[in-house]
Structure 1
Amino acid sequence: MPRRRSLMLLGVLWMSCVSTPHISAPAGKPSSQPSGGGVSLPVLFNDNLFIVQPTTREGMTLALFTATGGGLFIQQESATQLGLERTSKDLTGAGATDWVRLPDFQPGAWIPAPEMGEGLLPVAPMPIQEGTFGDGVLGSPWFSGRVWTFDYPGEKLWLRAAGDLPVVEARHRVSLGFRSAYARDAAPQHPRIQVRVDGEVLDLVLDTGSVVWLSESARKALADERTTGRAASVISHSLYERWHQRHPDWRVIEEGDANVPGAVLIEVPRIELAGHEVGPVWFATRHDETFTQYSELFMDKPVAGALGGNALKFFRVTLDYVQAVAVFER
């Protein structure tokens, strides 16, 4: 794919804008406020990944992959099956594309819609990994400007009111880095978080949708009878080489990701995150250039990888995009 076309596609998927919803208002939203703060959204929790499953008033249930480090789109076929009216607009500066509004949902199976970009979602210009992303992806443009709790132990995703954060010790509340401060018309935000591994502070994308597809050799080596596609954390190859040189005893699986030739899996015994020590955590390698380009486009400073659900699974994680903070509860 030519570079210009590739960047336009990134723009369609990653540069759509949304803003803060009004939690008390939208039609079709459940009126109850479940205990634990906010509204519990309909989700399928699958191997530390959250797939949102709203149901339309006509009874069609969607499967929308969520990723705080990803983009925003709906699949072409899904938009057609739902009978959504398409509008051709250039809302991202990447060229005109088709946009649609989410359908009306049943009160007990509701999700919020984007408020920016005239309340529209871009239609993917081509089918994109339907087996992984289902009917589409709800990424950083959907999360931006809101407060969320990813309850991994409880297998729930909560939409909270503005400023509603759990009370924890100060060391369990950490700052998030964003490319720019949140504003109603700002670009979507990809959260950067710091972790410590082997005494080194690392800047990583906090990406709840980071995924690895285990190769056959990796499945045999792990022998855990879990799914092949699962939540993962990833790092640059150069960082992996540093770790492997310092700790040759850390477990390594060559050619561990079926979708990324040459990818290596390395098991880190412990990581330090928001005043907690957790582990072990497996990381999959990616080419250094992957994070160089990603950092240039979406981050406030360079990142060396992404922290995914296999590291977040120990916590109930609340992300406040407006205040740029994250709260971690064991």
Structure 2
Amino acid sequence: MPSQARTMLLAGGLLLAAAADAGQSLPARFESDRVYLEAQGATGERLRLYTDTGGGLFLKQEAVERLKLPLSPLEDPEARRELGDRAKVTRLPAFAVEAGIPPPLADDGRMMVLPSALAGPQLPGASQDDGILGQAWFSGRIWTWDYPARRFRREAGDWKPSPELRRLALGFKTDGHGNRVTDFPRLQVVIDGKTHSLLLDTGAMTVLTPNAQAELADGGPSERATSMIADSVFQAWRKAHPDWRVINNAQAGMGSAMIEVPEVIIAGYKVGPVWFTHRENRNFHDFMSSFMDARVDGALGGNAFRHFIMTVDYPGAAAYFRCIAGCRDTTPR
């Protein structure tokens, strides 16, 4: 290859790599403190994906068929044993990537395809989506949720926190060699004077029963962000604080109760009240904790993060917070 042509090709490759790592705003839609990504193609194709730091990574079969996306066999032997010949993978459609939705970094950008019946039960009344962008999609990158301004951004690889941001260390499960096994982030917050480890879960959501919605009387929709807490902690709070509001039969379909926690301290910022939805101990102490570096008591969702600009640095295992409204600073000056 002539030297000039080689130089031009290398320069072009470097420019493409730089552009890919330059950071970008995503086509995000914030709905009651939950984030969807929505893209539309030139001929009317549409894709709506739920972003969920505490969730899986897949496209639903119906969306794949509707968009006529090419399929290839899933090579993971464990998944094949569970799903059999139905185990397929595909990639995000080109129009979605062009709109600013990046493919996952791992597995050559491929995503699992699941029949809706296997994609996780929808709560009664929950909005339908075409798939979930979960922990494996967030892996390896830096992301910023600007909840008050309703903006979501992928940061450049060389992003650095500004001095006013509050850092909170995150825990991730690793193997004996220190390699990341999963990318479910664990953070610590203070509630009622005690430190609790929780899943950082931007996708935690609920659908309220008519009774719960009437009791809240806050004008919000029935489908909204929530936080979650294991039964043992829920009961301890209820016993210690009989004045904390509890709504029984608050979640449609499941009948779960909710408790209103007056204050949660996140990175030195006190916010609240924050509603936590009840879950059985096994949901978090056993199942979810098996994917994390330490036991978690529940999940902290968008109804707590709504006060912040929050950046989660997955490679650096840290979250950074800047409070925009509704916070009290608890750090000494």
- Structure 2: how far apart are the matches of 1:249 and 1:242? 13
- Structure 2: how far apart are the matches of 1:227 and 1:246? 30
Pairing partner for 1:88 from 49, 73, 76: 73
Q: Does the CA contact (< 8 Å) of 2:174 and 2:182 recur in 1?
A: no
Q: Does the CA contact (< 8 Å) of 1:57 and 1:104 recur in 2?
A: no
Aligned pair count reads: 300
Q: 1:205 to 1:107 in 2, by over 3 A?
A: closer
Residue 204 of structure 1 pairs with residue 198 of structure 2: yes
Q: Structure 1: 5+ residue runs without aligned partners? A: 1-21
Q: Which amino acid aligns with 1:40?
A: S
- Structure 1: how far apart are the matches of 2:76 and 2:180? 13
Q: Which residue is equivalent to 1:13?
A: none
Residue 148 of structure 1 pairs with residue 143 of structure 2: yes
Q: Does the CA contact (< 8 Å) of 2:259 and 2:277 recur in 1?
A: yes
**Rg comparison, structure with higher value:** 2
What is the CA distance between 1:298 and its match in structure 2? 1.0
Aligned counterparts, 1:1-330, within 5 A: 25=16, 38-91=23-76, 93-95=78-80, 97-105=87-95, 109-127=99-117, 128=119, 129=121, 131-169=126-164, 172-180=166-174, 186-261=180-255, 263-330=256-323
Q: TM-score, normalised by structure 1?
A: 0.84
Q: 1:98 to 1:50 in 2, by over 3 A?
A: same
Q: 1:258 to 1:296 in 2, by over 3 A?
A: same
What is the CA distance between 1:165 and its match in structure 2? 3.3
What is the CA distance between 1:169 and its match in structure 2? 4.4
Q: Percent sequence identity over matched residues?
A: 38
Q: 1:201 to 1:186 in 2, by over 3 A?
A: closer
What is the CA distance between 1:188 and its match in structure 2? 3.5
- Structure 2: how far apart are the matches of 1:140 and 1:132? 21
- Structure 2: how far apart are the matches of 1:178 and 1:225? 37
- Structure 2: how far apart are the matches of 1:51 and 1:120? 20
What is the CA distance between 1:196 and its match in structure 2? 0.1
Q: Structure 2: 5+ residue runs without aligned partners? A: 1-12, 324-333
How far does the alpha carbon of each residue in 1:151-175 deviate from its partner, in whole angstroms, 9 at most, with x for none?
10110110001241331347x1010
Structure with a larger share of its residues in helix: 2
Q: Which amino acid aligns with 2:163?
A: V
Query: Secondary structure of 2:88's match?
Result: strand
Give the root-mean-square deviation of aligned CA atoms.
Answer: 2.6
What is the CA distance between 1:115 and its match in structure 2? 2.8
Q: Does the CA contact (< 8 Å) of 2:289 and 2:296 recur in 1?
A: no
What is the CA distance between 1:126 and its match in structure 2? 3.4
Q: Which amino acid aligns with 2:16?
A: A
What is the CA distance between 1:55 and its match in structure 2? 2.7
